[in-house]
């Protein structure tokens, strides 16, 4: 068969044990048909073959982003990025400029805000936000998406200024004077603020496993445009497969529509996020979604749950007391009996399970649930996943392996990396836990398969930046074990590791004949990812399903 495309003059890192290195790859249709030396592959060219000189760059399997939130990410591309904003003056300038550029917005939204924006010991309040902008509703979302802060007019319009019961595990934080401080914790509170947006904020429904009530044709097209914008942004960073980590049927319907139109630049899997009350038959719904969406490009096959929140708002579940709150360790979001039942049902239905677990207590609860499922259903190759693992008790490392779990981790999440401040996170985590914080090395050494991701838009999306963060991570104190893994392991976590973590290893994550043609060409020396400073490597060509989805000018 004559190849449609030959990439040559490349350093091909195949991630394939049989042939780890090559210099040329041929693609026909949506498959890789040959991998080998320059001469042997270019000899396959016919008159219709497009020859691409890789210029000595590195060719990898397309990046596999194992945990992100595409819909919110696509929408965030038109919001104010707060990650680099520190101090009242900087916030005022940024918000005023953003407000002037968005005169029609019902709610001005910033994302990526650091908890310590106004100083290490200053909790963000609506009054501090009023100093930045008082005459229009302004809402700022924390870098971890688990907390938000509204200014006074936003709190007033959302009906939250006098406080409100927002359901379990969520909170409108109150001042002793009886009014709200402006801080909103977790989805039950945060969604009420986002409802102020005339666009309806449908991008966040999947975080709660909710479906929109009714959607007009125009709203549907606007949502498709947001998803496409997010995917094109992924393609520009060399990403070819996404595992979405919020999910509802609505998103799958939009994505399937995009596939029918031939406009999907990435493959995507969307799970069903089991709602917090687990009402009705959530596993049955996930099974239906899995049956109804099952192409090479758009699929389900997974349930997503949350066991805890984050350290910065005391919602991470710990095995010890919080240092500043004796007797308090956080609460499991899903009670153990319910969690064990849901895991057992989902496992019996052949679904994969992914659960957000940040604190060491959350990781333990999640493993208990997976263990209950394995006991009830018998062992199988389940690859249930623990998402994040910011902290783990060393006793639970061998359990991860024994239960056949996969660790899904984010190199851009450790405090001190990717521009994140150390405090308050490292103190709330507790010094005794630092040796087991984001410890990729210990997890990999325990024989646990690892996949990497960014949780975009919670952190910057670029896989190369994430790998640089992994390789350049600084210890929080002297004498801690080095948690880093090497460059090759990082590349694997973003390619073959991601594919394994989603049962895609027979089709994706390796460059070998017969595999689907998902590739990324990188320009620049990968060894420079060991250095701090500006990135020296970038994605110059992305191919998904045999089609070019990004080509740098």
Interface with Zn ion by CB under 5 A: which residues? 245, 455
CB of 27 to Zn ion, least distance (A): 33
Residues 312-330: b if buried by 16+ CB within 10 A, e if exposed: bbbbbbbbeebeeeeeebb
CB of 433 to Zn ion, least distance (A): 21
As separate numbers, helices (DSSP H) first and strands (DSSP E) second, the chain gives: 18, 26
CB of 11 to Zn ion, least distance (A): 33
CB of 210 to Zn ion, least distance (A): 16
Q: What are the tokens at 402? A: 């024994």
Q: Which is nearer to Zn ion, 319 or 358 (CB)?
A: 358
First-to-final CA distance of the chain? 30
Provide Rg for the chain, Cα atoms.
Answer: 23
CB of 226 to Zn ion, least distance (A): 17
Q: Which is nearer to Zn ion, 203 or 455 (CB)?
A: 455
Cβ(232)–Cβ(264) below 8 Å: no
CB of 127 to Zn ion, least distance (A): 30
Q: Which is nearer to Zn ion, 345 or 455 (CB)?
A: 455
Q: Which is nearer to Zn ion, 245 or 471 (CB)?
A: 245
**Residues in a beta bridge with 306:** 356
Q: Which is nearer to Zn ion, 186 or 455 (CB)?
A: 455
Cα 251 to its chain centre, rounded Å, is 16
Q: Which is nearer to Zn ion, 66 or 439 (CB)?
A: 66
Q: Which is nearer to Zn ion, 227 or 541 (CB)?
A: 227
CB of 387 to Zn ion, least distance (A): 7
CB of 523 to Zn ion, least distance (A): 30
Q: Kindly report the CA angle at 22 between 517 and 409, in degrees rounded to 5?
A: 60
- Dist CA 361 CA 313 (whole Å): 16
CB of 245 to Zn ion, least distance (A): 4
Long-range pairs for 31-36: beta carbons < 8 A, 24 or more residues apart: 31/513, 31/514, 31/515, 31/516, 31/517, 31/546, 32/511, 32/512, 32/513, 32/514, 32/515, 32/516, 32/517, 32/519, 33/1, 33/3, 33/513, 34/3, 34/513, 35/511, 35/512, 35/513
Dihedral, 331, 337, 343, 347 alpha carbons, nearest 10: 170
Q: Which is nearer to Zn ion, 356 or 550 (CB)?
A: 356
Q: Which is nearer to Zn ion, 245 or 420 (CB)?
A: 245
- Dist CA 125 CA 109 (whole Å): 16
What's the longest Cα–Cα distance across the chain?
79
């Amino acid at each position: 068969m004559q190849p449609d495309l030959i990439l040559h003059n490349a350093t091909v890192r195949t991630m394939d044990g049989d042939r780890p290195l090559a210099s040329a790859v041929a693609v026909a249709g949506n498959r890789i048909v040959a991998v080998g030396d320059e001469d042997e592959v270019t000899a396959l060219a016919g008159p219709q073959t497009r020859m691409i000189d890789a210029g000595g760059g590195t060719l990898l399997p397309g990046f596999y982003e194992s945990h992100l939130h595409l819909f919110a990410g696509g929408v965030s591309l038109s919001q104010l990025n707060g990650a680099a904003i520190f101090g009242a003056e900087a916030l005022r300038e940024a918000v005023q400029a953003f407000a002037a550029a968005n005169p029609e917005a019902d709610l001005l939204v910033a994302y990526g805000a650091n908890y310590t924006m106004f100083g290490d010991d200053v909790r963000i309040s609506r009054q501090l936000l009023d100093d930045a902008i008082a005459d229009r509703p302004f809402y700022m979302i924390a870098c971890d998406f688990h907390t938000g802060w509204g200014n006074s007019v936003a709190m007033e319009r959302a009906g939250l200024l006098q406080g409100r019961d927002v359901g379990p595990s969520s909170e409108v934080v109150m001042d002793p004077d009886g009014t709200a401080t402006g801080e909103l914790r977790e989805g039950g509170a945060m969604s009420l603020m986002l409802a102020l947006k005339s666009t309806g904020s449908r991008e966040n429904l999947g975080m709660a496993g909710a479906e929109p009530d009714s959607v007009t044709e125009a709203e549907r097209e606007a949502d498709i445009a947001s998803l496409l914008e997010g995917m094109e942004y992924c393609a520009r960073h060399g990403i070819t497969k996404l595992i979405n980590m919020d999910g509802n049927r609505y998103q799958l319907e939009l994505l399937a529509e995009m596939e029918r139109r031939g406009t999907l630049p990435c493959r995507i899997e969307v799970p069903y996020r089991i709602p917090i009350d687990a009402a009705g038959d959530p596993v049955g719904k996930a099974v239906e979604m899995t049956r109804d969406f099952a192409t090479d490009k758009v699929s389900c096959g997974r349930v997503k749950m949350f066991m805890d929140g984050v350290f910065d708002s005391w919602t991470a579940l710990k095995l010890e007391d919080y240092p500043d709150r004796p007797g308090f360790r956080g609460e499991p979001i899903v009670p153990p009996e319910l969690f064990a039942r849901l895991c057992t049902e989902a496992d019996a239905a052949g679904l994969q399970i992914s659960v957000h677990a940040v604190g060491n207590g959350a990781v333990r609860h999640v493993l208990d649930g997976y263990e209950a499922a394995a006991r009830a259903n018998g062992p199988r190759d389940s690859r249930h996943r623990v998402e994040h693992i910011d902290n783990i008790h060393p006793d639970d490392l061998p359990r991860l392996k024994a239960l056949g779990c996969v660790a899904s981790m984010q190199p851009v999440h450790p405090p001190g990396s990717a521009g994140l401040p150390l405090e308050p996170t490292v103190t709330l985590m507790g010094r005794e836990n630092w040796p087991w914080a984001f410890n990729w090395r210990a997890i990999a050494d325990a024989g646990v398969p690892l996949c990497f991701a960014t949780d975009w838009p919670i952190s910057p999306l670029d896989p190369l930046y994430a790998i640089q963060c992994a390789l350049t991570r600084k210890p929080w104190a002297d004498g801690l074990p080095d948690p880093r893994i090497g460059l090759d392991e990082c590349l694997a976590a973003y390619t073959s590791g991601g594919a394994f973590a989603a049962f895609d290893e027979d089709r994706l994550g390796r460059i070998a004949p017969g595999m689907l043609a998902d590739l990324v060409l990188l320009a620049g020396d990968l060894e420079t990812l060991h250095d701090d400073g500006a990135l020296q490597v970038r994605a110059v060509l992305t191919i998904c399903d045999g089609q070019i989805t990004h080509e740098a000018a």
